[in-house]
Amino acid sequence: MRFNAKINGLKREIECAPGATLLEVLRLMGYKSVKQGCDREGTCGACTVLLDGTPILSCITPAPRVAGREVTTVEALGDPSRPHPIQAAFVNAGAVQCGYCTPGMLLSTKALLDRNKKPTDEQIATALSGNLCRCTGYVKIVEAVRNAAAALTEEQKP
């Protein structure tokens, strides 16, 4: 089947099998930051993307559901020459080890900070609880989110 959607700000025409998941389609289109870590059951969070700004699990989302809507992956946040403050915060805090869960973590963080400029540690923990990480023990991830919140607040000061 065929439909239109905005991916990372670009209008794209997407063709896929009716049962295809958003994860499969995005990876086939080259958005390889979107990872698979469980068996399409929505339990690891590595495939997290934003749909109109809200984090969703692309491995359990039928691709056609995003028709006419906007999908954001980590590729859209920034690149090494101009990283997004959240990306910079994760790098500087040492919150990236194997990096496999990182794109999903970053997008869950972005969704949190877009709606809550100064989250408490508890709110951070809740917002990221669907993104499993086996490397870091989460300490530096939570620290990175705190730092990112502070950096974004600083950036928005006149």
Partner 1 sequence: MTAPQKLNVVGTSVAKIDSMGMACGLEQYVADYDTTGALIGYVVPSPHAHARIKKIDATRARAIPGVHAVLTWEDVPRIVHTTAGQGFVEPSAYDSFVLDKKVRFVGDRVALVAADTREIAEEAGRALDIEWEVLEPVLDPDKAMEPGAPVIHDEPEAHMPIPVPYDAKKNMAASASMGVGDIDAVLKGSHLARKQVYSTHYAQHCPIEPHVCMGYLDPRDRLTLVSSTQVPFHARRITAQALGIPVKRVRVIKPRVGGGFGTKQEVLLEQMVGALVLATRRKVLMQFTRAEEFLSRTRHPIKVTIEGGFNKDGTITGVRMTALSNTGAYGSHGLTVMCNCGSKVLPLYRMKTVAFDATAVYTNLPVGGAYRGYGATQAAFAMESFLDEVAHEMGIDPVEMRRINHILPGEGSPVFAALGEGKPGVEQKIGSSGLAECLTQGAEAIGWHRRKEPKAPGAKKRGFGMCALMQGSSIPDIDMAAVSMKMNDDGSFNLAAGATDLGTGSDTILAQIAAEVLGIETSDIIVTSSDTDLTPFDVGAYASSTTYLSGEAARRAATTVAEQIKKVASEMLESHPAPETIELRNKAAFGPDGSSVTLGQIALRSLYESKQHQISSVESAISKKSPPPFSAHFVEVEVDTETGYVKLLKYVTMLDCGTAINPKLAEGQVEGAVVNGISFAMTEEYIFDEKGRMRNTGFADYKILSTADMPEMVTRLIPTWEETGPFGAKSVSEIGINGACPAIANAIFDAVGVRIRHAPFTPEKVLAAIQAAKQA
At 56 the three-state DSSP class reads: strand
Closest approach of Cβ 109 to partner 1, in Å?
11
**Pick 63 or 96: Cβ nearer partner 1:** 96
Strands 54-57 and 48-51: antiparallel
Pairing of strands 48-51, 10-15: unpaired
Measuring CA to CA, which residue among 64, 77, 58, 69 is closest to residue 131?
Answer: 58
Which residues make up the interface to partner 1 (CB under 8 A)?
Answer: 31-39, 41, 43-44, 46, 73-75, 77-80, 83, 87-88, 90-94, 96-103, 106, 124-126, 128-142
Sheet holding 48-51, edge to edge: 10-15, 2-7, 70-72, 48-51, 54-57
Shortest reach from residue 46's CB to partner 1, in Å? 6
Task: Name the minimum Å distance from CB 151 to partner 1.
Answer: 14
Shortest approach of partner 1 to residue 70 CB, angstroms? 18
Q: Which is nearer to partner 1, 68 or 78 (CB)?
A: 78
Closer Cβ to partner 1, 28 or 67, answer by number: 28
